[in-house]
Structure 1
Amino acid sequence: MARLRSFQRLAAHFVDIADFLLVYIEEAHPSDGWVSSDAAYKIPKHQCLQDRLRAAQLMREGAPDCPLAVDTMDNASSAAYGAYFERLYIIQEEKVMYQGGRGPEGYKISELRSWLDQALHSLSLLPTL
C-alpha cells in the first residue's frame, strides 16, 4: 500500500500534465498461493471476474482519486505490458514513452517522477500563443 500512496502523491502532483490510470491485474501473492509475509490483505487467487473486482475495490480505497481498470481473467493487459506483477508506464499519443522495470525491484516511482519532471520542464519552455 505504501507504493500505492507514493503513486497517488505523484498523480496529484502532476495532475495538470498527465492522466493516471491504475490497472488491477492478477494477485501477485494470493493467500491460497505464494503468500507474502508483509501482505496488507488476504486475497485468494481470483477464480472469476467478480473475485478480481472485489479485490480491486481494496485498491480503489487506497487511491480514490485515480481511475481504476481491472484486467480480464485471461490477463490480457498484464501480458501485453509485461506487468507481472506491477509496472509503471507512460503512454503518449498511443506510444510507450517510458517503461519501468518489472516489480517489485523495477517499480521505481523516482524514475517516473524524473521523466514527468523533464516533461513539465519541456512544456514550460514552449512559447505561449
Structure 2
Amino acid sequence: MARLRAFESLAARFVDVADFLLVYIEEAHPSDGWVSSDAAYDIPKHQCLQDRLRAAQLMQEGAPGCPLAVDTMDNASSAAYGAYFERLYIIQEQKVMYQGGRGPEGYKISELRRWLDQYKRRLQGGPSTVVVQV
C-alpha cells in the first residue's frame, strides 16, 4: 500500500502534465497461493472477472484520485506490458516513452518522478499531456 500511496502522491503532483491510470492485474500474493508476510488484504486467486473487480476496488480505495482499469482474465495487459506483478510506464502518442523495471525491485517511483520533472521543464508552458499506466 505504501507504493500505491507514493504513486497517488506523484499523480497529484503532476496532474497538470499527465493523465494517470492504474491497471489492476493478476494478484501477486493471493491468500491461497504465495502469501506475502506484509499483505494488506486477504485476496484469494481470482477465479473469475468478478473476483478481480472486487479486488481492484480495494486498490481504488487506496488511490481514489486515479482512474482504474482491470486486466482481463487471460492477463492480456500484463502480458503485453510485461507487468508481472507491477510496472510503471509512460505512454505518449501511442509510444512507450518510459518503461520502468519489473516490480518489486524495478518499481521505482523516483525514476518516474525524474522523467516527469524533466518533461515538465521541457514543456515550459506548452499544453501537452502524457498517460501513465501501471
TM over 0.5: yes
Query: Counterpart of 2:76?
Result: 76
Query: Counterpart of 1:44?
Result: 44
| Counterparts of 2:49 and 2:21, CA distance in 1 | 19
| Counterparts of 2:95 and 2:6, CA distance in 1 | 25
TM-score, length-scaled by structure 1: 0.96
TM-score, length-scaled by structure 2: 0.93
Query: Counterpart of 2:104?
Result: 104
Letter in 1 for 2:53: L
SS in 2 for 1:20: strand
Q: Deviations over 1:18-68 (max 9, x none)?
A: 000000000000000000010000100000000000000000100111000
Alignment of 1:46-61 (within 5 A): 46-61=46-61
CA RMSD in angstroms comes to 0.9
TM-aligned CA deviation for residue 125 of structure 1: 7.2
Runs of 4 or more above 2 Å deviation: none
Q: Deviations over 1:77-96 (max 9, x none)?
A: 00000000000000000000
Instruction: Could you tell me which runs of 5 or more consecutive residues in structure 2 were left unpaired when the two chains were aligned.
Output: 127-134
Task: State yes or no: 1:88 paired with 2:88.
Answer: yes
Give identity over the alignment, percent. Answer: 87
Query: Counterpart of 1:17?
Result: 17
